[in-house]
Amino acid sequence: MKRVYIVVEGPTEQEFVNSVISPYLQSFGILSITPILVRTSRTGRGGMVNYSHLSNTIKPLLVSEKNDYIVTTFIDFFRIPHNMPKYDESMRKPSKIEQVESLENAINEDINDRRFFSYIQLHEFEALLFSSNEGFEYYFSDELSKKTAYIISSYVNPEDINTSPEGAPSKRLLAIKPDYSKVLEGNLIALTIGIKSILEKCPRFAKWINTIIDLSKQ
């Protein structure tokens, strides 16, 4: 099995990889899964306001000529930098999914390495938490979990939750619970839901995970 490096934007995604994604991939025999925080400066890590932050994190991982590993990304479409490769062309696509897929293809072309493929989460990490209300029912009050249940019932696919900057999944959670902690509560909720529920409800995320598994076997 190949090693897997997943480039992430922040500590929330880093912890999600370690606590939720890694155990699932390990069940398929993929024993080395390493999240890599986006490098923003010589000493800075996390966040991404410029495409160079992403590319400068990815490219050093691909310096080796060995073919025993793959590199992928786990970044949000919400507030993605406007200087991404072919950004304007991608934003002219008629649907959000087509826009994201166009951006992913553009990143792949720019990095241009057979061991790399990009993944952009539609619209952001918090969308995955709306796969089930079980996590919200456990960590939120009854009153608040009723509000999350209403959002969940309004969307067949949690990845579609986003109608405006205020409608982004994270913004909705903050509107419901102003002291919502993305790193702590977000990952506890994800652990309570379980990755199988997320995979069942979020087709793009499931496709990404299955691609990692397939490429790791080659």
pLDDT in tens, 32-63: 999 999 987 665 566 688 999 999 999 999 99
DSSP codes, 142-204: HHHHHHHHHHHHT-SSGGG--SSGGGSHHHHHHHH-TT--TTHHHHHHHHHH-HHHHHHH-HH
The pLDDT-based confidence of 164 (bands split at 50, 70, 90) is confident
Residue 42: per-residue pLDDT: 60
Residue 177: per-residue pLDDT: 96
Beta-bridged to residue 39, according to DSSP, are 45
3-state class (DSSP) for residue 215: helix
Beta-bridged to residue 37, according to DSSP, are 8
Residue 210: per-residue pLDDT: 98
3-state class (DSSP) for residue 109: helix
Is residue 86 within 8 Å of residue 102, measured between CB atoms? yes
Residue 150: per-residue pLDDT: 95
Average of per-residue pLDDT across 134-150: 96
- What is d(CA 164, CA 55) in angstroms, rounded to the nearest whole number? 28
Residue 40: per-residue pLDDT: 77
Lowest mean pLDDT among 159-163, 188-192, 193-197: 159-163
The pLDDT-based confidence of 123 (bands split at 50, 70, 90) is confident
Q: What percent of the chain has pLDDT over 70?
A: 96
pLDDT tens, position by position, 64-76? 999 999 999 999 9
Q: Cβ–Cβ contacts within 10 Å for residue 68, how many?
A: 10
Q: Cβ–Cβ contacts within 10 Å for residue 22, how many?
A: 19
Query: Is the preceding omega at residue 82 within 30 degrees of 0, hence cis?
Result: no
Average of per-residue pLDDT across 77-103: 95
Give, in order, the Cα–Cα distances in Å from 175 to each of 84, 161, 185.
30, 15, 15
Alpha carbon distance, N-terminus to C-terminus of the chain:
8
pLDDT at residue 93 tops 70: yes
